[in-house]
Amino acid sequence: MQKINLIRYRKPIFIALLILCLVLSASGLLVCLSANRQHRTQETDTAAEIRKLAVRIEALEEKSASMREYLLVEHEGKIGIYNSERTVLYEILDVYVKTLPRRDREMLAEGIVVCGEAALRAITEDYSS
């Protein structure tokens, strides 16, 4: 049985260990880069989903606004625009109710219900002009 002289093989062993360390480090780096890329992709996907949800919410808000009911009534001698429950005063038109025809004054005394912002805009333009 022959003894192996390790001193004679120390340089090749050192080089082999060094190469092994480099390979393991490189593979670890590749794994980290891959995980980082996957994480960035997930962040991009999440951001895209958030943008899509924001667009959908905006569309729902627009639809909601078009279905919202407003109440026009006399408010301190002028026309007041309230929410349908008359709990929130949105605006007071600079139109004196006493200058309007009798039928309009009667309707405002009872309250005029208007559905949607387009209809509200139309009726306020009618009273303002």
Domain count, the chain: 2
- Higher per-residue confidence, 30 vs 55: 55
**What's the pTM value of the predicted model, to 2 decimals?**
0.53
Q: How far apart are CA 110 and CA 105, in angstroms?
A: 9
Helix (H, G, I), strand (E, B) or coil at 67: helix
Distances in whole angstroms, Cα of residue 98 to Cα of each of 89, 103, 107, 121 = 20, 11, 13, 21
Q: Are residues 72 and 113 in the same domain?
A: yes
Backbone angles phi, psi at 48, to 5 degrees: -65, -40
- Higher per-residue confidence, 49 vs 29: 49
Q: Are residues 45 and 77 in the same domain?
A: no
pLDDT at 127 exceeding the cut of 80:
yes
Domain of 75, in residue numbers: 68-128
Q: Are residues 74 and 123 in the same domain?
A: yes
